[in-house]
Structure 1
Amino acid sequence: MSHAYLSIEQVDKSFRRGGTTTEVLRKVSLEVDKGEYISIIGHSGCGKSTLLNIVAGLTDATSGAVLLDGKLVDQPGPDRAVVFQNHSLLPWLTVYENVQLAVNKVFGKTKSAGERHDWTMRNLELVQMQHALDKRPAEISGGMKQRVGIARALAMEPKVLLLDEPFGALDALTRAHLQDQVMQIHAELGNTVLMITHDVDEAVLLSDRIVMMTNGPAARIGEICEVPLPRPRQRIALVADPTYLECRSTVLRFLYERHRLVAAA
């Protein structure tokens, strides 16, 4: 039996529509240590988000299992918080209320009202959004909305933070700023992160390991790239770092080779 903190064990996933069955994932296995930052990368349609949804408990695996801290994952739970590409904030609630909603849900019976307020503020401070407490989502930028979404997820104190292309809809400058902030939060909290991304540079900058998926249907893990860059990482300093460049080259080579095979089919 696996002793990994998060263990994805021989996961298959097929969808049936009408008389047609589509095999999305085949025999996906991955072990993640506590405090590790893992990125999953691959071409569109390779089942990355499906795999994340299985870990989140939002989708059932056809076969195989996911274990978190020794317990079977078979439904959604606050021990796995998801941040999607679209922020998913409730538009009628303020920034503070959006985060407090999650805090009340998870800690309503274990923390006092004062403690819940302090915890809400603590998580807004982590993403530098304490200045916008009373604003509603329509009154803040896309990057700010995503920061509130991350604060809301962190406020649940999840065992695993699941990020589904969290920076995909943002402009380059906002994206870079948020990546730096996520690195700082990871350094401070030591949390376990599983992130879906299409961005090779983002994966190398943030991750301890990059999981590269083969193309669908029946996608599986093709390669895993270790990223042995010391932390804290500075993006400007890494531009010419030989280890950074080698990791980047490894992932790009894998993705372009997969793209070539699809184009030739």
Structure 2
Amino acid sequence: MERTFLDISRVVVRFAPGAPPVLNGVDLKVKQGEYIAVIGHSGCGKSTLLNVVAGLLPATLGGVVLEGSEVTEPGPDRAVVFQNHSLLPWLTVYENVRLAVDRTAGRTMSRAERDAWTLENLALVRMTDHARKRPNEISGGMKQRVGIARALAMRPKVLLLDEPFGALDALTRAHLQDQVMAIHARLGTTVMMITHDVDEAVLLSDRIVMMTNGPNATIGEILEVGLPRPRDRLALASDPRFLSAREAVLRFLHERHALPAVA
């Protein structure tokens, strides 16, 4: 039996004493190398759950264990990419990634090794030609690619993506999704991604975790996507397995757990 790599156990999050919990009893076991998408309506606690896994927010009850160690604070074994790229504007693309490398590998890699590792991660996201530019000189999609390179350069055990493509146009979003699929295939990194996009969830993930509405949100259903890798978005557009998975998620979101009508 394959050992659980990331264990989210009975997590409850309450922001104020006596208030209803945002999350109530979330249980999820993730295998190493698995790509998990978490989807649900606004206010269902998706990002709250990711922040607990990242160590940015303590659980009120329950907890998270990563490869046998309890998560109690942020750490380089869990790299986060937010919708806002959060690049330092006074540093170049290279320097933004190099900063993460120096912080996490400054004592274990030589200067030359850190330089090579920085360039290798920029090459992964096809940003080598823009390494000397500053964030205000590149597009939004490029900034997100740098953010992903910076996260991967930390060599995390888990890559946490909080709607990283949400602010991008459709073509840029599709290009980055394809790049993330290629990186996941090459590195085998364990990924947990928050998304509102049903097609994105089906295209990228091995399992889709569907959250019930908040407050008192929890996991309502988990869907095994079951699509072989590598995946081609054009081929999948008419694949009955893709369409069936898409329909299952839509039915959960819009029939079983639709948002209540506004009066």
User: Where on the TM-score scale, by shorter chain, does this alignment land: which range?
Assistant: over 0.9
- Note if contact 1:38-1:209 (Cα within 8 Å) is conserved in structure 2: yes
In structure 2, what is the equivalent of residue 218 of structure 1?
216
In structure 2, what is the equivalent of residue 143 of structure 1?
141
In structure 1, what is the equivalent of residue 37 of structure 2?
39
CA RMSD, Structure 1 to Structure 2 (Å): 1.4
2: CA distance, partners of 1:9 / 1:189: 27
- Note if contact 1:215-1:258 (Cα within 8 Å) is conserved in structure 2: no
In structure 2, what is the equivalent of residue 240 of structure 1?
238
Instruction: With the length of structure 2 as denominator, give the TM-score of the two structures.
Output: 0.97
Q: 2:104 aligns with which of 103, 106, 115?
A: 106
CA distances 1:202-252 after superposition (whole Å, capped 9, x unpaired): 000000000000000010000001011000000000011010000000000
Q: Quick check: 187-196 or 252-261, which moved more?
A: 252-261
- Note if contact 1:214-1:258 (Cα within 8 Å) is conserved in structure 2: no
Q: 2:227 aligns with which of 226, 229, 239?
A: 229
In structure 2, what is the equivalent of residue 186 of structure 1?
184
2: CA distance, partners of 1:260 / 1:187: 34
* Structure 1 pair 15–112 and aligned structure 2 pair: CA distance change class (3 A): same
In structure 2, what is the equivalent of residue 205 of structure 1?
203
2: CA distance, partners of 1:70 / 1:246: 36
Amino acid at match of 2:29: E
In structure 2, what is the equivalent of residue 4 of structure 1?
4
Secondary structure (helix, strand or coil) at the match of 1:223 reads strand
TM superposition shift of 1:22: 3.6
- Note if contact 2:43-2:213 (Cα within 8 Å) is conserved in structure 1: yes
Matched ranges for 1:34-113 at <5 A: 34-113=32-111
Q: Tell me, yes or no, if structure 1 residue 123 matches structure 2 residue 127.
A: no
TM superposition shift of 1:25: 0.2
Amino acid at match of 2:72: D
2: CA distance, partners of 1:192 / 1:4: 12
2: CA distance, partners of 1:34 / 1:255: 28
TM superposition shift of 1:264: 8.6
1: CA distance, partners of 2:226 / 2:232: 14
Secondary structure (helix, strand or coil) at the match of 2:22 reads strand
- Note if contact 2:124-2:183 (Cα within 8 Å) is conserved in structure 1: yes
2: CA distance, partners of 1:238 / 1:127: 24
TM superposition shift of 1:257: 1.7
Amino acid at match of 1:12: V
CA distances 1:177-222 after superposition (whole Å, capped 9, x unpaired): 0000000000000010000000000000000000000000010000
Unaligned 5+ segments in structure 1 are: none
CA distances 1:84-108 after superposition (whole Å, capped 9, x unpaired): 0000000000000000000000000
2: CA distance, partners of 1:188 / 1:71: 26
Secondary structure (helix, strand or coil) at the match of 1:121 reads helix
Amino acid at match of 1:198: H
Instruction: With the length of structure 1 as denominator, give the TM-score of the two structures.
Output: 0.97
1: CA distance, partners of 2:257 / 2:53: 27
Amino acid at match of 2:9: E
